[in-house]
Amino acid sequence: MATVSNDLLTAMNGTSSSSSTSNSSGLTDNSPDAIQNRFLTLLMAQMKNQDPNNPMDNSQLTSQMAQLSTVSGISQLNSTLATLMGNLNSSQALSSANMIGHSVLAPGNSVQLTSETTKDASGNDVTKQHAVMGVNLATNASSVVVTIKDSTGAVVRTMDLGTQASGVVPVIWDGTNDAGSKAADGNYTFTVAASNNGTAVNATALAFGTVASVSTAADGIKLNVSNIGTIKPTDVVQIL
C-alpha cells in the first residue's frame, strides 16, 4: 500500500519553510486559480512521493480531476452570483432613487395634521386642515372604523368609512374632532377596526409620508420616509 510522505503532508498543510508565507495566505484564498494551484501542488507532491511498486491508480487521478472541476465550477458560480448581486443592488438603488419626492402609503399608525392657507375667489385667505392615511383590507368589509388619538391616547375623532372593497383605501381627515371643532396641528396616531357582517376582517393601518432619501446598507436598500421612518422598498403598499 502507498504511504504518505512528510513532503506530501507539508504540501497539503502549507507548512513548507520555503513557501510558508504564500501558503498560509493562499489557504484562505478560495478563488478558482488558487484552488487549482493548490490541487496541482498536492498532485505533483503525491505523484513524486508515490510508491514505485504501487503507483497511483488512473481511476484515482481521474476522480481527483473531476473533483477539482466541480470545486472550481462552484467557486466560479459563487463569484458570478456575487457580481450579479452587486449589480442588482446598484440597480435597485438607482430605481429606488426615482421615488425621492413621491408620497407613499406603508404600514404604520402615525398621521400628521397640517394646515394650508390658500386664496378664495374673492382673494380672501382660507385655511384648511388635512391629514392623509390609509387602510389595507384583506377582504371586503361592511364596516370600517378609523379611530384617531392624540399624544395622550385620548380619542379625537372616530371615522366610520362604511362598506369598503378589499385592497387599499386612502383616508383623508379634515382635522375636525368628534365635537365638531378643529383639532390642533400636530402628530396623531390611529387604529383600524373592520368587519364583514359581524366577522372580523384583517385590516392594516397605513401611514402616509414622502420619500426624502434612499440609503444602502448591509441588509439592502432603505427608503427614508417622512412621518414613517426607514422602510424597505417592498414595504410600500401604494405610491400616490
Q: Is the pLDDT of residue 169 over 90?
A: yes
- Which whole number is the average pLDDT over 106-134? 91
Could you give the CA distance from residue 109 to residue 153 in angstroms, rounded to a whole number? 13
Q: Are the C-beta atoms of 39 and 64 separated by less than 8 Å?
A: yes
What does the pLDDT read at residue 54? Answer: 67
The upper half-sphere exposure of residue 75, i.e. CA atoms within 13 Å in the direction of its Cβ, equals 14
Parallel/antiparallel/unpaired status of strands 186-196 and 143-149: antiparallel
Q: Specify the DSSP element, H or E, that contains 220.
A: strand 220-225
Phi and psi at 161, nearest 5°, equal: -85, -5
Round to whole Å and give the CA distance between 91 and 14: 42
- Tell whether the model's pLDDT for residue 4 goes beyond 70: no
CA angle 226, 220, 102 (to 5 degrees): 30
Which is higher by pLDDT, 201 or 52?
201
pLDDT at 41: 77
Q: How much of the chain is helix, strand and coil, in % rounded to 5? A: 30, 40, 30
- At residue 213, φ and ψ (nearest 5 deg) are -160, 170
- SS3 at position 115: strand
Lowest mean per-residue pLDDT among 23-32, 107-116, 156-165: 23-32
Q: Which residue has the higher pLDDT, 143 or 54?
A: 143
Angle at 33 between CA 30 and CA 36, to 5 degrees: 90
pLDDT value of position 126: 84
Cell of 114: 397640517
| Lowest model confidence (mean pLDDT) among 73-82, 148-157, 186-195 | 73-82
Q: How far apart are CA 18 and CA 216, in angstroms?
A: 45
pLDDT of residue 2: 46
For the cut 70, the answer to whether the pLDDT of residue 154 exceeds it is yes
